[in-house]
Structure 1
């Protein structure tokens, strides 16, 4: 069955970004994907995403669903028929929605694990914490929205960061059968702001067996709010296993 196109509102999309040693990132990616480098660094991070009004494209907003979601991701590139393409590889997706966990990998691309979320959010501060029900992952992030991007070794300013992440609209996840499921984000109202990180912890990026000390450093955070977005399935991409888990 062909996966439907989905409409939604991105109520909050918090991107917490790390700069990673290229050889470490490369070992975690399945071929044909490779790290997309910025100033000599691979780029990885956590996407903490609250979606609202999610429904098949064409249905009324009133029928849409709302959910908290998280994705650990790497900026990647690969060779396509028209040259080098860019996107993200998502080794792990987690959700607070039982429906998303059931439907991911069945009705739409991307298998999801279950997680319990704790969210505190206002105009001055956002905290998102989660613990996965399999016990493998914990995340706790607090940020403050700010007017300018400062202190990043990856991006000179907010405009540069915005261009980079807008070009990474294609997301790939393991499909469980040796390939990669894909979804592409479409919006004609792209808007992203900066956030100052107060605290950030992820047992994924903090694991020394995956990221040796010094190989993954927190860089910056970006924030989207109230952006209408559609999600289009992509044809599956053949993949070879990553060198490391």
Structure 2
């Protein structure tokens, strides 16, 4: 994948909405050589909604950067390479309001994106977000704060570390077949607990009844981030390519 390495942005807000997924159902979604990463015997899937600004190559001043709303459906995954097990996420689809991400995603910028319409109502610690695309709809009404509640992670710190370790995201390339990797990282990392007032995902609700159950939501705010094409090993690339053929 030929991309602009070292894309920088400011993360204004990121909602991470997670579901407990039946492992057998998850295995039908995740392509080999990836496999679902299990937590407390369950697969973990979900979607994130990101508000980004100052998006630019690392050599460009932040004042010239672009702004966008974005969403991604994801599954926690693991894979083997060089005698070790690695963790990350498989991204089913990315959607964006940004013309540069839709036109050049997977070519000049990391990750293939599809066009979508977003609405965002933000009031203090409360965020009501919707995304409408040709083949997908999601909505989340989230309020930061409250006690931590999750059937997968006993503490917020455990959930935070899980998300931080899953920095590499695999997704289909522009050919719709080969798997390509993108890494999202932040020099500082802060995750806040939140409670859900309402949630909807046409993708997860289309899975077999009872196989996808909402588990928790966390929020990240006001962080500088970077997106790069990681230096994954040749074994990773060869395995992904061979299974895609």
When normalised by structure 1's length, the TM-score is 0.92
The farther-off stretch of 3-12 and 155-164 is 3-12
Once residues 212 and 146 of structure 2 are traced to their aligned partners in structure 1, the CA distance between those partners, rounded to angstroms, is 26
Name the residue aligned to 2:21: 20
Report Cα offsets for 1:189-229 as digits up to 9, x if no partner. Answer: 1111111011000101111xxx2101000000010001111
Structure 1 residue 143 displacement after superposition: 0.7
RMSD across aligned C-alpha pairs, in angstroms? 1.6
Contact 2:173 2:179 survives alignment (8 Å):
yes
Once residues 114 and 228 of structure 2 are traced to their aligned partners in structure 1, the CA distance between those partners, rounded to angstroms, is 21
Once residues 83 and 59 of structure 2 are traced to their aligned partners in structure 1, the CA distance between those partners, rounded to angstroms, is 31
Structure 1 residue 36 displacement after superposition: 0.6
Report Cα offsets for 1:79-137 as digits up to 9, x if no partner. Answer: 022510000000111001122100111112311110000100122310110100xx211
Report Cα offsets for 1:146-189 as digits up to 9, x if no partner. Answer: 15422x10110110100100000001110143311211122121
Name the residue aligned to 2:53: 52
Contact 1:181 1:235 survives alignment (8 Å):
no
Name the residue aligned to 1:232: 228
Name the residue aligned to 1:192: 191
Structure 1 residue 241 displacement after superposition: 5.1
Contact 1:93 1:112 survives alignment (8 Å):
yes
Runs of 4 or more above 6 Å deviation? none
Contact 1:75 1:89 survives alignment (8 Å):
yes
The farther-off stretch of 16-25 and 175-184 is 175-184
* Residue from 159, 162, 174 that aligns with 2:160: 162
Greater helix content: 2
Once residues 158 and 185 of structure 2 are traced to their aligned partners in structure 1, the CA distance between those partners, rounded to angstroms, is 19
When normalised by structure 2's length, the TM-score is 0.92
Structure 1 residue 60 displacement after superposition: 1.0
